[in-house]
Structure 1
Amino acid sequence: MLSPHEFATLMLVKNAPDQLGLDRAELDILLEHQLVALETLPSGQQRPQITSDGVSVLKAVTRFG
Structure 2
Amino acid sequence: MLSPHEISTLLLIQRSPYQVEALGDETARLRHERLVEVELLASGHAFARLTSSGLEMLRRLDAFSKRQALPRDERSERRA
Structure 2 unpaired stretches of 5+: 66-80
Structure 1 unpaired stretches of 5+: none
Q: CA RMSD in A?
A: 1.2
**For 1:41-60, what per-residue CA distance to the aligned partner results, in whole angstroms no more than 9, with x for missing partners?**
11121111110000000000
Structure number with the bigger relative contact order (C-alpha 8 A, sep ≥ 6) is 1
Give the number of aligned pairs.
65
One-letter code aligned to 1:45: H
Q: In 2, Cα distance between the equivalents of 1:48 and 1:9?
A: 10
**Seq. identity, %:** 37
Larger Rg: 2
Does the 8 Å contact 2:22/2:38 carry over to 1?
no
Question: Runs (4+) of structure 1 moved beyond 2 Å?
Answer: 21-26
SS class of match (1:39):
strand
Q: Which protein has the bigger helix share?
A: 2
Q: In 1, Cα distance between the equivalents of 2:41 and 2:19?
A: 15
TM-score of the pair, normalised by structure 2: 0.75
TM-score of the pair, normalised by structure 1: 0.91
One-letter code aligned to 2:52: S
Does the 8 Å contact 2:10/2:54 carry over to 1?
yes
